[in-house]
Amino acid sequence: MIWFIDWNPSPEIISIGSFSLRWYSLCFVAGFGIGFFIMKSFFKRENIPYEWLDSLLMYLVLATIIGARLGHCLFYDWDYFSDHILEMFLPVKFEPEFQFTGFLGLASHGGALGILVAMWLFSKRISKKPMLWILDRVLVPTALACFFIRIGNLMNSEIVGSKTDASWGFIFRQLGEDFARHPVQLYEAIAYFGIFWVLYYMYWKTDARKHLGRLFGMFFVLMFSARFVIEFFKRSQGGFESAFGNILSTGQLLSIPFILVGLFFLFRKTKTIAA
Protein backbone atom coordinates (compact mmCIF):
# COMPACT_ATOMS: atom_id res chain seq x y z
CA MET A 1 0.00 0.00 0.00
CA ILE A 2 1.34 3.45 -0.95
CA TRP A 3 1.09 6.17 1.69
CA PHE A 4 0.53 9.74 0.63
CA ILE A 5 0.46 13.08 2.46
CA ASP A 6 -3.11 14.10 3.20
CA TRP A 7 -3.05 17.88 2.67
CA ASN A 8 -6.05 19.79 3.95
CA PRO A 9 -5.05 23.06 5.68
CA SER A 10 -7.41 26.00 5.79
CA PRO A 11 -6.19 28.91 3.64
CA GLU A 12 -7.22 31.17 6.54
CA ILE A 13 -5.19 31.58 9.71
CA ILE A 14 -7.97 33.40 11.53
CA SER A 15 -11.38 34.75 10.58
CA ILE A 16 -13.32 37.40 12.50
CA GLY A 17 -16.58 38.43 10.86
CA SER A 18 -15.86 39.56 7.31
CA PHE A 19 -12.13 39.88 8.06
CA SER A 20 -9.80 36.97 7.51
CA LEU A 21 -6.02 36.66 7.66
CA ARG A 22 -4.81 34.22 5.01
CA TRP A 23 -1.58 32.27 4.86
CA TYR A 24 -0.88 33.62 1.37
CA SER A 25 -1.10 37.22 2.58
CA LEU A 26 1.20 36.47 5.52
CA CYS A 27 3.76 34.80 3.24
CA PHE A 28 3.60 37.72 0.79
CA VAL A 29 4.24 40.25 3.58
CA ALA A 30 7.00 38.09 5.11
CA GLY A 31 8.81 37.81 1.78
CA PHE A 32 8.87 41.53 1.12
CA GLY A 33 9.46 42.40 4.80
CA ILE A 34 12.56 40.23 5.12
CA GLY A 35 13.67 41.41 1.68
CA PHE A 36 13.53 45.00 2.94
CA PHE A 37 16.08 44.24 5.66
CA ILE A 38 18.32 42.35 3.24
CA MET A 39 18.36 45.38 0.95
CA LYS A 40 19.09 47.56 3.96
CA SER A 41 22.24 45.49 4.64
CA PHE A 42 23.31 45.94 1.00
CA PHE A 43 22.76 49.70 1.22
CA LYS A 44 24.74 49.88 4.46
CA ARG A 45 27.68 48.08 2.91
CA GLU A 46 27.72 50.41 -0.10
CA ASN A 47 26.85 53.64 1.73
CA ILE A 48 23.60 54.09 -0.19
CA PRO A 49 20.99 56.45 1.31
CA TYR A 50 18.42 54.55 3.38
CA GLU A 51 15.81 57.06 2.15
CA TRP A 52 15.67 55.13 -1.12
CA LEU A 53 14.38 52.01 0.60
CA ASP A 54 10.80 53.16 1.17
CA SER A 55 10.42 54.14 -2.50
CA LEU A 56 12.08 50.90 -3.59
CA LEU A 57 9.66 48.79 -1.53
CA MET A 58 6.65 50.64 -2.95
CA TYR A 59 7.89 50.20 -6.52
CA LEU A 60 8.53 46.48 -5.97
CA VAL A 61 5.22 45.63 -4.31
CA LEU A 62 3.13 47.48 -6.90
CA ALA A 63 5.17 46.13 -9.82
CA THR A 64 4.93 42.53 -8.58
CA ILE A 65 1.16 42.62 -8.04
CA ILE A 66 0.28 44.55 -11.21
CA GLY A 67 2.75 42.67 -13.42
CA ALA A 68 1.78 39.24 -12.07
CA ARG A 69 -1.93 40.03 -12.42
CA LEU A 70 -1.65 41.27 -16.00
CA GLY A 71 0.66 38.36 -16.83
CA HIS A 72 -1.97 35.86 -15.71
CA CYS A 73 -4.75 37.62 -17.60
CA LEU A 74 -2.78 38.00 -20.83
CA PHE A 75 -0.75 34.78 -20.89
CA TYR A 76 -3.04 32.24 -19.22
CA ASP A 77 -6.67 33.33 -19.40
CA TRP A 78 -7.03 35.82 -22.25
CA ASP A 79 -10.09 34.03 -23.67
CA TYR A 80 -12.00 35.06 -20.55
CA PHE A 81 -10.49 38.46 -19.82
CA SER A 82 -10.72 39.65 -23.42
CA ASP A 83 -14.46 39.86 -22.73
CA HIS A 84 -14.05 41.10 -19.15
CA ILE A 85 -11.35 43.76 -19.41
CA LEU A 86 -12.42 45.61 -16.28
CA GLU A 87 -11.98 42.50 -14.15
CA MET A 88 -8.27 42.52 -15.03
CA PHE A 89 -7.85 45.61 -12.85
CA LEU A 90 -10.48 45.06 -10.16
CA PRO A 91 -10.67 42.33 -7.46
CA VAL A 92 -14.25 41.43 -8.41
CA LYS A 93 -16.30 39.36 -10.84
CA PHE A 94 -19.41 40.77 -12.47
CA GLU A 95 -20.79 37.51 -13.92
CA PRO A 96 -22.87 35.46 -13.30
CA GLU A 97 -23.35 37.76 -10.29
CA PHE A 98 -21.28 40.42 -8.58
CA GLN A 99 -18.68 38.85 -6.30
CA PHE A 100 -15.60 40.14 -4.47
CA THR A 101 -12.85 37.65 -5.29
CA GLY A 102 -9.57 39.40 -4.62
CA PHE A 103 -6.93 39.15 -7.33
CA LEU A 104 -7.18 35.47 -8.22
CA GLY A 105 -4.46 34.51 -10.66
CA LEU A 106 -0.90 35.83 -10.55
CA ALA A 107 1.81 34.80 -13.03
CA SER A 108 5.48 34.93 -12.06
CA HIS A 109 6.59 35.78 -15.60
CA GLY A 110 4.36 38.83 -15.53
CA GLY A 111 5.73 39.72 -12.12
CA ALA A 112 9.28 39.56 -13.50
CA LEU A 113 8.37 41.92 -16.35
CA GLY A 114 6.68 44.25 -13.88
CA ILE A 115 9.83 44.39 -11.74
CA LEU A 116 11.94 45.23 -14.81
CA VAL A 117 9.70 48.18 -15.64
CA ALA A 118 9.61 49.34 -12.01
CA MET A 119 13.38 49.21 -11.62
CA TRP A 120 13.80 51.23 -14.81
CA LEU A 121 11.53 53.88 -13.31
CA PHE A 122 13.34 53.69 -9.96
CA SER A 123 16.70 54.16 -11.68
CA LYS A 124 15.47 57.16 -13.65
CA ARG A 125 13.60 58.90 -10.85
CA ILE A 126 15.35 57.93 -7.61
CA SER A 127 18.81 56.34 -7.79
CA LYS A 128 20.16 57.95 -11.00
CA LYS A 129 22.26 54.78 -11.33
CA PRO A 130 22.25 52.20 -14.14
CA MET A 131 19.17 50.01 -14.11
CA LEU A 132 21.35 46.89 -13.84
CA TRP A 133 22.87 48.22 -10.60
CA ILE A 134 19.56 48.05 -8.74
CA LEU A 135 18.47 44.83 -10.48
CA ASP A 136 21.65 43.06 -9.35
CA ARG A 137 20.77 43.86 -5.77
CA VAL A 138 17.00 43.69 -5.63
CA LEU A 139 16.74 40.27 -7.30
CA VAL A 140 18.63 38.65 -4.42
CA PRO A 141 15.78 39.14 -1.90
CA THR A 142 13.26 38.70 -4.72
CA ALA A 143 14.29 35.04 -4.93
CA LEU A 144 13.49 34.72 -1.22
CA ALA A 145 10.12 36.44 -1.74
CA CYS A 146 9.37 33.85 -4.44
CA PHE A 147 10.06 31.11 -1.88
CA PHE A 148 7.48 32.59 0.51
CA ILE A 149 4.91 33.08 -2.24
CA ARG A 150 5.13 29.43 -3.28
CA ILE A 151 4.62 28.38 0.36
CA GLY A 152 1.51 30.57 0.26
CA ASN A 153 0.37 28.76 -2.88
CA LEU A 154 0.83 25.45 -1.08
CA MET A 155 -1.31 26.63 1.83
CA ASN A 156 -3.96 27.70 -0.70
CA SER A 157 -3.79 24.30 -2.46
CA GLU A 158 -3.29 26.07 -5.80
CA ILE A 159 -0.91 25.71 -8.77
CA VAL A 160 -0.87 21.95 -8.20
CA GLY A 161 1.17 19.24 -9.86
CA SER A 162 0.29 16.30 -12.03
CA LYS A 163 -0.81 12.94 -10.63
CA THR A 164 1.86 10.81 -9.00
CA ASP A 165 2.37 7.48 -7.27
CA ALA A 166 5.39 8.82 -5.35
CA SER A 167 5.14 8.40 -1.58
CA TRP A 168 5.68 12.14 -1.09
CA GLY A 169 2.64 12.99 -3.22
CA PHE A 170 0.03 15.32 -1.71
CA ILE A 171 -3.71 14.65 -1.74
CA PHE A 172 -5.22 18.13 -2.00
CA ARG A 173 -8.48 17.71 -0.10
CA GLN A 174 -9.41 21.37 -0.61
CA LEU A 175 -9.80 20.52 -4.32
CA GLY A 176 -12.13 17.65 -3.51
CA GLU A 177 -9.62 15.07 -4.74
CA ASP A 178 -8.73 11.63 -3.38
CA PHE A 179 -5.57 11.00 -5.43
CA ALA A 180 -2.01 12.29 -5.01
CA ARG A 181 -0.28 15.01 -7.00
CA HIS A 182 3.31 16.25 -7.14
CA PRO A 183 3.69 19.07 -4.56
CA VAL A 184 5.21 21.37 -7.18
CA GLN A 185 4.69 24.39 -4.95
CA LEU A 186 7.15 22.77 -2.54
CA TYR A 187 9.54 21.85 -5.36
CA GLU A 188 9.60 25.48 -6.51
CA ALA A 189 9.90 26.84 -2.96
CA ILE A 190 12.96 24.67 -2.28
CA ALA A 191 14.51 25.66 -5.62
CA TYR A 192 13.93 29.38 -5.02
CA PHE A 193 15.34 29.20 -1.49
CA GLY A 194 18.48 27.58 -2.92
CA ILE A 195 18.71 30.26 -5.62
CA PHE A 196 18.45 32.95 -2.96
CA TRP A 197 21.44 31.52 -1.10
CA VAL A 198 23.49 31.26 -4.30
CA LEU A 199 22.84 34.92 -5.12
CA TYR A 200 23.37 35.99 -1.50
CA TYR A 201 26.73 34.22 -1.46
CA MET A 202 27.72 35.78 -4.78
CA TYR A 203 26.93 39.25 -3.48
CA TRP A 204 28.85 38.95 -0.20
CA LYS A 205 31.68 36.53 -1.04
CA THR A 206 32.55 37.27 -4.68
CA ASP A 207 33.03 40.35 -6.84
CA ALA A 208 29.81 39.67 -8.79
CA ARG A 209 28.21 42.87 -7.45
CA LYS A 210 30.98 44.85 -9.19
CA HIS A 211 29.99 43.52 -12.63
CA LEU A 212 26.76 45.11 -13.88
CA GLY A 213 24.25 42.43 -14.80
CA ARG A 214 26.13 39.44 -13.32
CA LEU A 215 23.67 38.78 -10.49
CA PHE A 216 20.73 39.72 -12.71
CA GLY A 217 21.82 37.17 -15.30
CA MET A 218 22.35 34.46 -12.69
CA PHE A 219 18.89 35.09 -11.25
CA PHE A 220 17.20 34.75 -14.64
CA VAL A 221 19.15 31.61 -15.60
CA LEU A 222 18.60 29.78 -12.31
CA MET A 223 15.04 30.94 -11.62
CA PHE A 224 13.57 30.19 -15.03
CA SER A 225 15.61 27.02 -15.60
CA ALA A 226 14.13 25.71 -12.36
CA ARG A 227 10.70 26.81 -13.51
CA PHE A 228 11.20 25.10 -16.89
CA VAL A 229 12.11 21.75 -15.29
CA ILE A 230 9.41 21.83 -12.60
CA GLU A 231 6.75 22.55 -15.24
CA PHE A 232 7.11 18.91 -16.35
CA PHE A 233 5.50 17.92 -13.03
CA LYS A 234 2.82 20.60 -13.00
CA ARG A 235 -0.82 20.39 -14.07
CA SER A 236 -1.47 22.49 -17.15
CA GLN A 237 -2.56 26.03 -16.34
CA GLY A 238 -3.76 26.69 -19.86
CA GLY A 239 -2.58 29.64 -21.88
CA PHE A 240 -1.26 29.48 -25.43
CA GLU A 241 0.57 26.13 -25.22
CA SER A 242 -1.97 24.49 -27.57
CA ALA A 243 -0.81 26.81 -30.35
CA PHE A 244 2.58 25.06 -30.13
CA GLY A 245 1.16 21.54 -30.14
CA ASN A 246 1.29 21.18 -26.33
CA ILE A 247 4.91 20.10 -26.63
CA LEU A 248 5.83 22.57 -23.90
CA SER A 249 3.64 24.29 -21.33
CA THR A 250 2.90 28.00 -21.41
CA GLY A 251 5.19 28.43 -18.40
CA GLN A 252 8.05 26.70 -20.22
CA LEU A 253 7.56 28.71 -23.40
CA LEU A 254 7.62 31.92 -21.39
CA SER A 255 10.73 30.80 -19.48
CA ILE A 256 12.89 30.31 -22.58
CA PRO A 257 13.40 34.01 -23.45
CA PHE A 258 14.12 34.81 -19.79
CA ILE A 259 16.83 32.11 -19.71
CA LEU A 260 18.39 33.44 -22.93
CA VAL A 261 18.44 37.00 -21.57
CA GLY A 262 20.01 35.72 -18.37
CA LEU A 263 22.75 33.84 -20.26
CA PHE A 264 23.60 36.99 -22.21
CA PHE A 265 24.10 39.09 -19.09
CA LEU A 266 25.82 36.30 -17.19
CA PHE A 267 28.55 35.74 -19.75
CA ARG A 268 29.00 39.13 -21.38
CA LYS A 269 32.20 41.00 -20.65
CA THR A 270 31.80 43.94 -18.29
CA LYS A 271 34.01 46.54 -16.71
CA THR A 272 34.50 46.35 -12.95
CA ILE A 273 32.66 49.11 -11.07
CA ALA A 274 33.21 50.41 -7.57
CA ALA A 275 30.82 48.75 -5.12
Say whether pLDDT at 1 is over 60: no
pLDDT score of 274:
63
Q: Which of 160, 175, 178 is nearest to 233 (CA)?
A: 160
The answer to whether residues 77 and 105 touch, using CB atoms and an 8 Å cutoff, is yes
User: Does 180 score more than 90 pLDDT?
Assistant: yes
pLDDT for residue 3? 78
Predicted confidence (pLDDT) per residue in 254-273, tens digit? 899 999 999 999 989 877 77
Instruction: Give how far Cα 132 sits from Cα of 4, 29, 172, 193, 221, Å.
Output: 45, 25, 41, 22, 16
Per DSSP, 130 falls in state -
CA 43, 45, 46, 47 dihedral sign is positive
Query: What pLDDT shows up at residue 4?
Result: 87
Share of the chain above pLDDT 90, in %: 53
Over residues 33-60, the pLDDT tens digits come to: 999 999 999 999 999 999 999 899 888 8
Cα–Cα dist 255/263, whole Å: 12
Q: Cα torsion at 161, 111, 228, 169 (round to 10°)? A: -20
Q: Where are the domains of the chain?
A: 20-267
Q: By the 8 A CB rule, do 211 and 185 touch? A: no
Find the mean pLDDT for residues 109-137.
90
Least confident of 93-107, 202-216, 239-253: 93-107
